[in-house]
Chains A and B, each alone.
Chain A
């Protein structure tokens, strides 16, 4: 199968600490890949390196056969990679609509002349965007679609997470990176959110998703394939059933018995 994104010998060092250590990883087109590992095993660092927040100390990242390991976050976004954050990074004082539109940067006309002088054209673009944002939100939650112009800070935690996913999805990325979307949520909320993710997958079969998760039942339910990291290295990969049986994985999570 084609790899959408592949890493070769990826290394990320922070002074003395090696967060990613000679990592080889392939993400296949159209799959939902679960990224697992104990705390501090380098999962979020991997996202940050891929999205250009950190620059890799060594190795290569190829996205659709283009080397993106030296690209800025903006270039990575334009190439078609969008993400969510482990800690919510919504702009709470802004409206839900504004928050989603931040993710739509690629499709907005942001010239000064266009924005200040050509108000009619801006209005057409705005109305199209608003419709799009509403449709996207309704996939997740019928009620949210009508609250588009309210402050993002006025909705519940799970809806904020949904808005974050919408913000990542609105630009139609090829690869979506979800950094522990269930963090800080109840069991029921997590289930709801996973339903949402499966719905997205049904609607956008082309979309490739990488999800960092700790809950094993969640992983089992939604991933096609998993990769387990430990100390910045790939411990093993395979389907959930395969990795769950792997003694090394059990050892990494539970310690030596």
Chain B
């Protein structure tokens, strides 16, 4: 009687943990490889060497995907998530420590981490709940401008400024709620596109907010510790971006914890239900509108917080930092990484941000590069480099 029920497990289904739990080794090797590669990429300056590195990385990636190394990496990562979270954080810290004296490299690392934070917001919106948001840069900008105004005109502690950046972005997003909820699919997407463009135009004509010239933003100070002064350790002065790299890492970790917990809860399950089948969801009592609002606001708060730190870190913001193309970069990152998979964001963000920043030859063409990368991924691996896995509510303890 049971024979008809025994279908072969689909590829994405992990084998029962009792049968053969993969060791953590492939995951550790993968993380170390990515960290080493990122460090080398950040330290090398010769254009030809960089180009070679880029080509090597692309070939390695294709080979890894073809031979199933990425799925092994992913499987091991998921099976030992607690350990791997620690390893990944350690790897980030190691990269930051190695680059401790290099301003530019650390600026890139911090930017990558901030984009990761913003992309986690998009993951909650698009990856979980299916709410399209092509105005990511606008909410990022809302957080940044909030930080600029509050930092320049008030004595509000900067951790509160960071929260305020998130809250303002969330509030600004609620302006969009009505039109986004009343439309669906492409139309909702178009509304967010329009909003993103309007936001930038608004900044350009608004003289109180600096107009096209932008605004200066005071650096971040946490409990009297000014991040704009480089630390001195053992007589060596570190780059002040070292401080920002640590703060952005802390922010990314905090947002990661919240995002993960959201995913692994009834709320995350309800988000998914709304994304996949609104009608079925509402038939079973789910409040579709409330869930969409919730996902949209939470996501925008994350994006806004990232924007606030970005402003304090760069010290100067202008409307061009928050144009439509930045929104597209955010979307490209989550599509490359695998929509809905938080851990896919980090390698994707690193790839999308570091390579063009270093390779001046392709900087002009970076949007061409992004589009090509997105098209390739959609063609050959539509679920992204690291597809999202099935939900486990409490994975580390007892496989559930």
> Is B283 a contact of A94 with CB atoms below 8 Å?
no
Taking the closest CB of chain B, its distance from the CB of A129, in whole angstroms, is: 9
> Is A156 a contact of B10 with CB atoms below 8 Å?
no
Cβ of B272 within 8 Å of any chain A Cβ, yes or no, is: yes
Which A residues, 84 to 105, have Cβ-Cβ distances below 8 Å to chain B? Answer: 85, 89-95, 98, 101-103, 105
Cβ of B282 within 8 Å of any chain A Cβ, yes or no, is: yes
> Is A105 a contact of B285 with CB atoms below 8 Å?
yes
Cβ of B277 within 8 Å of any chain A Cβ, yes or no, is: yes
Cβ of A126 within 8 Å of any chain B Cβ, yes or no, is: yes
Cβ of B232 within 8 Å of any chain A Cβ, yes or no, is: no
Cβ of B286 within 8 Å of any chain A Cβ, yes or no, is: yes
Taking the closest CB of chain A, its distance from the CB of B277, in whole angstroms, is: 6
CA distance A34 to B365 in the complex (A): 65
CA distance A123 to B396 in the complex (A): 12
Contact partner, A53, options B269, B276, B283, Cβ 8 Å = B283
Cβ of A201 within 8 Å of any chain B Cβ, yes or no, is: no
Contact partner, A77, options B13, B279, B283, Cβ 8 Å = B283
> Is B276 a contact of A77 with CB atoms below 8 Å?
no
> Is B391 a contact of A95 with CB atoms below 8 Å?
yes
> Is B276 a contact of A82 with CB atoms below 8 Å?
no
CA distance A41 to B7 in the complex (A): 37
> Is B284 a contact of A156 with CB atoms below 8 Å?
no
> Is B269 a contact of A154 with CB atoms below 8 Å?
no
For A90, list chain B residues within 8 Å (CB). Answer: 280
Taking the closest CB of chain A, its distance from the CB of B294, in whole angstroms, is: 7
> Is A91 a contact of B283 with CB atoms below 8 Å?
no
CA distance A105 to B400 in the complex (A): 20
Which A residues, 105 to 124, have Cβ-Cβ distances below 8 Å to chain B? Answer: 105-106, 108-110, 112, 115-116, 119, 122-123
> Is B390 a contact of A94 with CB atoms below 8 Å?
yes
Interface string of B134-153 (1 = CB under 8 A from A): 00000000000000000000
Contact partner, A102, options B2, B10, B284, Cβ 8 Å = B284
Query: Chain A: how many interface residues by the 8 Å CB criterion?
Result: 49
Closest to B4 in A: A156
Cβ of A37 within 8 Å of any chain B Cβ, yes or no, is: no
Cβ of A150 within 8 Å of any chain B Cβ, yes or no, is: yes
CA distance A144 to B5 in the complex (A): 8
Contact partner, A83, options B261, B270, B283, Cβ 8 Å = B283
CA distance A237 to B17 in the complex (A): 54
Which A residues, 156 to 200, have Cβ-Cβ distances below 8 Å to chain B? Answer: 156, 159, 167, 171
> Is B276 a contact of A74 with CB atoms below 8 Å?
no
Known A-B contacts A94-B390, A102-B269, A154-B10; A89 and B5 likewise in contact (beta carbons under 8 Å)? no
> Is B285 a contact of A74 with CB atoms below 8 Å?
yes
Which B residues, 6 to 26, have Cβ-Cβ distances below 8 Å to chain A? Answer: 6-7, 9-10, 12-13
CA distance A226 to B267 in the complex (A): 40
> Is A74 a contact of B286 with CB atoms below 8 Å?
yes
> Is A112 a contact of B7 with CB atoms below 8 Å?
no
Interface string of A27-64 (1 = CB under 8 A from B): 00000000000000000000000010100000000000
CA distance A122 to B12 in the complex (A): 27
> Is A110 a contact of B266 with CB atoms below 8 Å?
yes
Contact partner, B266, options A101, A103, A142, Cβ 8 Å = A101
> Is B13 a contact of A154 with CB atoms below 8 Å?
yes
CA distance A18 to B262 in the complex (A): 45
Contact partner, A106, options B12, B277, B285, Cβ 8 Å = B285
Closest to A167 in B: B284
CA distance A16 to B15 in the complex (A): 54
For A116, list chain B residues within 8 Å (CB). Answer: 258, 261-262, 265, 267
> Is A149 a contact of B284 with CB atoms below 8 Å?
no
Contact partner, B5, options A92, A98, A143, Cβ 8 Å = A143
The winner among A77, A102, A110, A144 for most chain B CB atoms within 10 A is A102
Contact partner, B7, options A53, A108, A155, Cβ 8 Å = A155
Cβ of B281 within 8 Å of any chain A Cβ, yes or no, is: yes
For A91, list chain B residues within 8 Å (CB). Answer: 272-273, 276-277, 280
Taking the closest CB of chain A, its distance from the CB of B398, in whole angstroms, is: 9
> Is A149 a contact of B5 with CB atoms below 8 Å?
no
CA distance A68 to B10 in the complex (A): 43
Taking the closest CB of chain B, its distance from the CB of A131, in whole angstroms, is: 11
Cβ of B45 within 8 Å of any chain A Cβ, yes or no, is: no
> Is A119 a contact of B286 with CB atoms below 8 Å?
no
Contact partner, A115, options B265, B285, B286, B391, Cβ 8 Å = B265
> Is B270 a contact of A105 with CB atoms below 8 Å?
yes
> Which A residues are within 8 Å of any B CB, using their own CB?
51, 53, 72-74, 77-78, 82-83, 85, 89-95, 98, 101-103, 105-106, 108-110, 112, 115-116, 119, 122-123, 126-127, 130, 141-144, 149-151, 153-156, 159, 167, 171
Q: Would you list 6 pairs from A and B whose C-beta atoms are within 8 A, ordered by A residue? A: A89-B277, A91-B280, A95-B390, A98-B273, A130-B400, A155-B5
